[in-house]
Amino acid sequence: MCKQVLVIGYVWPEPNSSAAGSHMMSLLRFFRSQQWQVEFASPAQTTEHMVDLSQYDITSKHIQLNCASFDEYVQTLQPDIVMFDRFMMEEQFGWRVDKYAPNALKILDTEDLQCLRNARHEAHKAHRELVKDDLHSDLAKREIAAISRCDLSLIISSYEMTLLSDIYKVDPALLHHLPFMVELNNLPNALPTYSERQHFMTIGNFRHAPNWDAVLYLQEIWPLIRKQLPKAELHIYGSYPPPKATALNNPRTGFLIKGWAEDALQVMQNARVCLAPLRFGAGIKGKLLEAMITQTPSVTTAIGAEGMHADLPWSGSIATSAQEFADQAVALYNDEQVYTQAQMAAKNILSQIYDKSLLEPQLLKKINNIINNIKQHRRDNFVGQMLKHHTMRSTQYMAQWIEAKNVNKIR
């Protein structure tokens, strides 16, 4: 049976700018591969790097926040599945879907746990370790409430699956672990050899706070690497570099801000080592997956590698200090034997954790099982029903108040 899928995006997909954009596109392609009709709707402004969804036979629609026009839109569309991109979209549109398309399966694509990333960011700014109380923030209450109101939430990190179960006591029936889906048969065959590669690189959207912090940390790490490898260069790629980033460009020291990369995999495979000194964040890291895909060993932190490799050896090194990071980076760069072992580890991680041919059938089975038992599934989720009962009132009235206020402004 052909299903109608509505995806409500926080932003328009930019697969070449962020891991979130790449992950979203893999989900959209998955829906289309089932021969389902897919429409992507978003209240966000269009951007220069957004993908042309029509190339994938996906329709698109601009929607408005706090506006009753969405009610008529979703009532007319009557989707079988509605997927929210991040919990903020569920907060904004979830109650409207419940009211005007009540039979639709509600899926939340968390991308990463915002509450975890925010808690780590606040602890980092305060120069202290994360404590359990940090995880009980108002943001966490909002995010876990959105997860509870949905029929299914897609969780990208194995670490976050454990966190949701152990700390937040979320019913496992509402969760599905879905890391990046990689088509292993399409991995590049002829990659540059160890001797053909040179220099270090990193990549990441500059608007993403963990990426910008990593660039600042590299200001501390790079002189330690350069001291041992005086001719090496660090190429820093990423979309939307602000003036404060381009101001760091320094050809004399080899610290080079390259900005937007038209082809992230191409620049990754030409580098010898990928550096990702992430000091806070959540989810799993697209740059480190791309490093594995291109057989580029990486040096990262425990947070960078978190949830990405289970108990398998990492495809490079995991460091805990600036000096260790630099020493591990230089060791990988100089030792071809160590380098080759890291490449073999990458192949093992990809085949055991990110194989699209295994992940897609598991996701399809989960979706179909819930659809076929939707009434019982929702009855079993009493917390979700309770939250919907209150949200339908509080969020609805707030949205209607904002809408009325906006109408009065126009008048």
Q: DSSP letter string over 136-151?
A: GSHHHHHHHHHHHHSS
Mean pLDDT of 289-301: 97
CA 292 to chain centre: 17
Provide the pLDDT for residue 49.
Answer: 83
Q: How confident is the model at residue 406 (pLDDT cuts 50, 70, 90)?
A: confident
Q: What is the pLDDT of residues 192-218, one digit of tens each?
A: 999 999 999 999 989 899 999 999 999
**Among candidates 87, 77, 70, 67, which has minimal Cα distance to 10?**
87
Average pLDDT, rounded, for the chain = 94
Q: What is the pLDDT of residues 55-73, one digit of tens each?
A: 999 999 999 998 999 999 9
Angstrom distances, CA of residue 49 to CA of 18, 286, 302: 10, 17, 31
pLDDT at 402 over 90: no
The answer to whether 298 and 315 have CB atoms below 8 angstroms apart is yes
- Alpha-carbon gap, residue 142 to 136, rounded angstroms: 10
pLDDT at 131 over 80: yes
- Alpha-carbon gap, residue 116 to 166, rounded angstroms: 14
The amino acid that residue 371 corresponds to is I
Provide the pLDDT for residue 389.
Answer: 76
**Is 297 in a helix, a strand, or coil?**
coil
Q: What is the pLDDT of residues 210-246, one digit of tens each?
A: 999 999 999 999 999 999 999 999 999 998 899 999 9
pLDDT at 396 over 80: no
Domains, the chain: 4-182+356-410 (3.40.50.2000), 186-353 (3.40.50.2000)
Q: pTM, whole model, 2 decimals?
A: 0.91
Q: What is the pLDDT of residues 327-349, one digit of tens each?
A: 999 999 999 999 999 999 999 99
Q: How confident is the model at residue 12 (pLDDT cuts 50, 70, 90)?
A: very high
Q: What is the pLDDT of residues 15-48, one digit of tens each?
A: 877 778 889 999 999 999 999 999 999 999 988 8
Q: How confident is the model at residue 8 (pLDDT cuts 50, 70, 90)?
A: very high
pLDDT at 411 over 60: no
Name the least confident of 141-150, 183-192, 245-254. 183-192
Q: What is the pLDDT of residues 87-128, one digit of tens each?
A: 999 999 999 999 999 999 999 999 999 999 999 999 999 999
Provide the pLDDT for residue 18.
Answer: 77
Provide the pLDDT for residue 394.
Answer: 63
pLDDT at 408 over 90: no
Provide the pLDDT for residue 407.
Answer: 66
Q: How confident is the model at residue 390 (pLDDT cuts 50, 70, 90)?
A: confident
Residue predicted with more confidence, 142 or 391: 142
pLDDT at 397 over 80: no
pLDDT at 144 over 80: yes
Angstrom distances, CA of residue 340 to CA of 7, 114, 278: 41, 36, 24
pLDDT at 13 over 80: yes
Provide the pLDDT for residue 393.
Answer: 62
Angstrom distances, CA of residue 403 to CA of 69, 92, 103, 388, 409: 10, 12, 26, 21, 10
pLDDT at 410 over 80: no
Query: What DSSP assignment string belongs to 181-202?
Result: -B-GGGS-SSPPPTTT--SEEE
